Structure 1
Amino acid sequence: METQVSRFSILMFPWLAHGHIFPFLELAKAILHRKNLHIYLCSTSINFDSINKHALHGSIELVEIHLEPSQDLPPDHLTTKNLPPSLMPSLLKAFQTSYTSFSDIISTLKPDLVLYDYFQPWSAKIAASQGIPAVHFSIYGATAYSLVHHKQTFGEAEVPFPGIKFEGHKLQEICDVLASLCSIIHDLDDQDFLFGNIKQSCDLVLMKTSRGVEGKYIDYLSTLSGKKIVPVGPLITHTTQNNQEQSYIIEWLSKKSQHSTVFISFGSEYFLSKSEIEEIAKGLELCNANFIWIIRFPLGATVSLDEVLPEGFLERAGERGLVVTGWAPQADILGHQNLGCFVSHCGWSSCMESMYFGVAVVAMPMKIDQPMNARMLVEAGSCVEVSRSEDGVFKGEDIGEAIRKVVEEEGGEELRRRARGLSERLKREEGQVMDEAAEQLWQLCLKKQTTRC
């Protein structure tokens, strides 16, 4: 049992992406509501301003990790936010040079537990060498993990989930991409490109998910990996600041009718090409839905909306559409009653937010885990996936047809009903799963007092 004098410290070490940092931050806040802890959050200093905007708890302390200098990456590029895609491998490679800095941090802080992310399984080895237990926290879902683990373990054997249909070569393509990324990771065996993290994890693995939406995939991953998979819920980041610059978006949405508006966003790390933007614009012109469309450009890009949007698109859209560059309050938008669907790349955080707020999804998955996440939502009945043409691209006609199915046709109400069901499951379990996760971590800290992991 927790005592009055017991206070442990946990060092959290996420990858340098906001989509990874903020789930760690939300996990930290949730644990601190339940246990007497001090939490260190480790990242590059360029990320500190963004983290501080999310109302840091007094028991969360930021710790700077140092990467060796790189000619390819100026200091303002030591984050994935707005990073040009061509520099992503360079950042991942540079991140591996933080090995020594992280070892020094461990030696100085002497935490009772380390929580580490996907791209640094070596951090678990460093912790273990100093007698500190380390637990992998996955910000990805159990569906993607279990499908790729199945592929790596059983090759061409059929996946035991008939609701998730993937041609063998498609799943192999995803595995190949992951293997290519992980070939950069320091001290990682070629055969452990995905599961080195799970193998290094002490006793259990935390996962940003819920049994109510991924129960069978959690169980299958646990069987394949031999580890206890502990879900921590959706970890939604709610807007805490009154951002006047973006308040007009919600004001605009509030003037529309219920379920009439489409929200289009592809996350903070995927930048649409000009041709992709043109096809989405065509799709929006082929349907009658209102829309909020977030378009982002890489850091340093000098491209304007007029250069990438079809000529006259904004004028033709008029009051029906709002195109935004930069940040937008995604959680507030998804939680608004006037939203009809979410056109998404199906990054896992976006999937969890769509389920949490009960929003139907039009899926346009782009890379890595996103196709598997999209299929999980289709299986759950809350999603329509846009079909690809023979040359593998999304066409405006198909995008428009998918939006009409969800927003304008009668079947859309059934999709929204199923989406609301997923929301109820997530919210019903939210507190319970976090209670269990916090207790599991607390017990690991207690265990450290008497033995090494």
Structure 2
Amino acid sequence: MDSQLHIFFFPYMAHSHMMPAIEMAKLFASRGCKASIVSTPANAPHIHKAIESGTNLGLEIGVLSIRFPTQEVGLPEGCENANSLTSLEMMNKFFTAVNMLDQPLEQLLMEHRPSCLVADLFFPWATDVSAKFGIPRLVFHGFSFFALCALASLLRHEPHKQVSSDSEPFVIPNLPDEIKITRNQLPDYMKEETEFSGFLKKLDESELNSYGIIVNSYYELEPAYADHYRNVLGMKAWHVGPTFLCNEEKEGYKAVRGQEASISEQECSNWLDSKKSNSVIYVCFGSLANFVDSQLMEIAMGLEASGKQFIWVVKKGKHEEGVKEEWLPEGFEKRMEGKGLIVRGWAPQLLILQHQAVGAFVTHCGWNSTLESVCAGVPMVTWPVSAEQFYNEKLVTQVLGIGVGVGAKKWARLTGDSVNREAIEKAVNLIMEGKEAEEMRSRSKALGVMASRAVQEGGSSYEDLTALIEDLRLQRHCCGSK
């Protein structure tokens, strides 16, 4: 039997899921494993580019393609990534298509017989498909341990069903800390029975029946929750992150991570180089959140009122030549010249966060962005929108003490809760000025140092990855000897 482990990675087709999965493939490959990433034709070029950026020669990473059934579900040709979805109807069709990928995956597993399948949580059927061939399936959520613990508690105890209103705070039971949340901050499919509610139960069952969970976090960041998840909830889990740190020193990686930037690395660096240390606030809400014009106007007015320098990334397709942008106050960019930089599209986030001029980050609390901010030692203004982001906000503000909330009170699939300019101005000033801001920055920097140590030889994540690889070797040996 070939002694080399062959690991399949099957990420959900969204940039926030694909990036850490690709980085994870590099991690396993750097430890002597063969890695294959399964995806669809339209996503393959992005994956190839990400593999090539900064990869050391000799890493065995391949890309295997399966057809995405756009035509069968009524999606436009080439619509194979969640980032291109613009409506709830498109999202539902996309999920239908995702659930039709079980047979193509089964075919690939039969042909290649990998040692392990690391499949995204959105593929609950992957556990049964891999079991047909005796292949262990690891679940990858892209969540923090904290979010996993909170979600498990909510699913099992349903405390949200005991309160009298959507705005009444309640305690998430049996967590290491007293964490309060409201029904408004929970996803709609947890509050009422929807088609996705049934899907959520399938996810939970699939996770319980899987070989274990692989987590993009590190022990020192959330030790009580790593222990709680494994020892109290009894889940088999390994932390191997932050995954992007495995590429951090590679030439040019900070500029290319994610989608193609709408601003050059040089232009971005030159602008930041002209600013004092910790004087710039970075504002970005990830690849999926899409605020309405009136909310963008409030952000602009709040930033201007704060008097702080800023880089603001706007996911907006309304910047055609000669067309007035309704989401910007009259004369805003002229007034902000030299003080504020608006990036329309995608920005080199790692490069920005790790620049000494950046003093804070206004974020939607997606786990990739949260980890990047922590590793850069940058405190956060938290503005959760959807997914598990309200849990991450509690971790950042209440447990770690490295952020302040902007006041978002309601979970919303794409558009985000409405927050006024006064709240934005107040949160920005609180995170950038005064003793409390300095203390948060100090705690953030300490966590960033711990993150770097965690992925180095002998560090907590390095050792957990070693333990996982050894476990998989033992598993294959046992199965192979039957």
Aligned to 1:206: 214
Aligned to 1:176: 190
Name which of 35, 51, 73 aligns with 1:39: 35
Name which of 100, 106, 109 aligns with 2:109: 106
CA distance in 2, matches of 1:67, 1:297: 27
Name which of 38, 49, 55 aligns with 2:45: 49
More deviation in 98-107 or 238-247? 238-247
Aligned to 1:75: 77
Structure 1, unpaired ranges of 5+: none
Report sequence identity in percent.
26
CA distance in 1, matches of 2:137, 2:192: 23
Aligned residues: 442
Name which of 370, 374, 386 aligns with 2:406: 386
CA distance in 2, matches of 1:167, 1:10: 38
| One-letter amino acid of the counterpart of residue 45, structure 1 | P
Aligned to 1:427: 452
Task: Describe the SS at the equivalent of 1:23.
Answer: helix
More deviation in 56-65 or 278-287? 56-65
| One-letter amino acid of the counterpart of residue 425, structure 2 | G
Name which of 4, 9, 13 aligns with 2:10: 13
Q: 1:172 to 1:436 in 2, by over 3 A?
A: closer
Aligned to 1:245: 264
Aligned to 1:315: 334
CA distance in 2, matches of 1:258, 1:421: 18
Contact 1:267 1:347 in 2 (8 A): yes
Contact 1:9 1:111 in 2 (8 A): yes
Contact 1:164 1:375 in 2 (8 A): no
Name which of 139, 155, 167 aligns with 2:181: 167
Q: What is the correspondence of 1:328-347 to structure 2 with a 5 Å cutoff?
A: 328-347=347-366
Post-superposition Cα deviations, 1:399-451, rounded to whole Å, max 9, x if no partner, equal: 11110111133422111111112112222222331332244134324422332
Contact 2:365 2:392 in 1 (8 A): yes
CA distance in 1, matches of 2:96, 2:230: 30
Per the TM alignment, residue 102 of structure 1 is displaced from its structure 2 partner at its CA by: 0.8
Aligned to 1:196: 205
Aligned to 1:64: 65
Q: 1:82 to 1:164 in 2, by over 3 A?
A: farther
Task: Describe the SS at the equivalent of 1:41.
Answer: strand
Aligned to 1:93: 96
Contact 2:143 2:215 in 1 (8 A): yes
Q: 1:252 to 1:70 in 2, by over 3 A?
A: farther
Post-superposition Cα deviations, 1:300-357, rounded to whole Å, max 9, x if no partner, equal: 9979672322222112211111101122110010000000100000001111111111
Q: 1:229 to 1:55 in 2, by over 3 A?
A: closer
| One-letter amino acid of the counterpart of residue 75, structure 2 | L
Q: TM-score, normalised by structure 2?
A: 0.84
CA distance in 1, matches of 2:243, 2:197: 30
Q: TM-score, normalised by structure 1?
A: 0.90
More deviation in 347-356 or 209-218? 209-218
Task: Describe the SS at the equivalent of 1:116.
Answer: strand
Structure 2, unpaired ranges of 5+: 160-170, 411-415
Per the TM alignment, residue 183 of structure 1 is displaced from its structure 2 partner at its CA by: 4.7
| One-letter amino acid of the counterpart of residue 67, structure 1 | F
Q: 1:315 to 1:286 in 2, by over 3 A?
A: same
Contact 1:80 1:88 in 2 (8 A): yes
Contact 2:73 2:97 in 1 (8 A): no
CA distance in 1, matches of 2:87, 2:470: 39
More deviation in 342-351 or 94-103? 94-103
Post-superposition Cα deviations, 1:40-80, rounded to whole Å, max 9, x if no partner, equal: 10111211222222243541111112222245322321112
CA distance in 1, matches of 2:355, 2:172: 40
CA distance in 1, matches of 2:335, 2:134: 64
Aligned to 2:476: 448
Task: Describe the SS at the equivalent of 1:286.
Answer: helix
Q: What is the correspondence of 1:342-353 to structure 2 with a 5 Å cutoff?
A: 342-353=361-372
Post-superposition Cα deviations, 1:17-45, rounded to whole Å, max 9, x if no partner, equal: 111111111111112222x2211101112
Task: Describe the SS at the equivalent of 1:367.
Answer: coil
Contact 1:177 1:368 in 2 (8 A): no
Per the TM alignment, residue 393 of structure 1 is displaced from its structure 2 partner at its CA by: 2.1
Name which of 107, 132, 135 aligns with 1:132: 135
**Do structure 1's residue 264 and structure 2's residue 283 form an aligned pair?**
yes
Task: Describe the SS at the equivalent of 1:284.
Answer: helix
Contact 2:299 2:421 in 1 (8 A): yes
Contact 1:67 1:101 in 2 (8 A): no
* Structure with bigger RCO (C-alpha 8 Å, 6+ apart): 1
**Do structure 1's residue 235 and structure 2's residue 248 form an aligned pair?**
no
How big is the alpha-carbon RMSD for the aligned residues of Structure 1 and Structure 2? 2.8
| One-letter amino acid of the counterpart of residue 128, structure 1 | A
**Do structure 1's residue 22 and structure 2's residue 30 form an aligned pair?**
no
Name which of 224, 234, 240 aligns with 1:216: 224
Per the TM alignment, residue 163 of structure 1 is displaced from its structure 2 partner at its CA by: 4.8
Per the TM alignment, residue 96 of structure 1 is displaced from its structure 2 partner at its CA by: 0.8
Q: 1:320 to 1:435 in 2, by over 3 A?
A: same
Task: Describe the SS at the equivalent of 1:42.
Answer: strand
CA distance in 1, matches of 2:359, 2:236: 37
Q: 1:27 to 1:389 in 2, by over 3 A?
A: closer
Contact 1:44 1:79 in 2 (8 A): no
**Do structure 1's residue 407 and structure 2's residue 407 form an aligned pair?**
no
Contact 1:31 1:438 in 2 (8 A): no
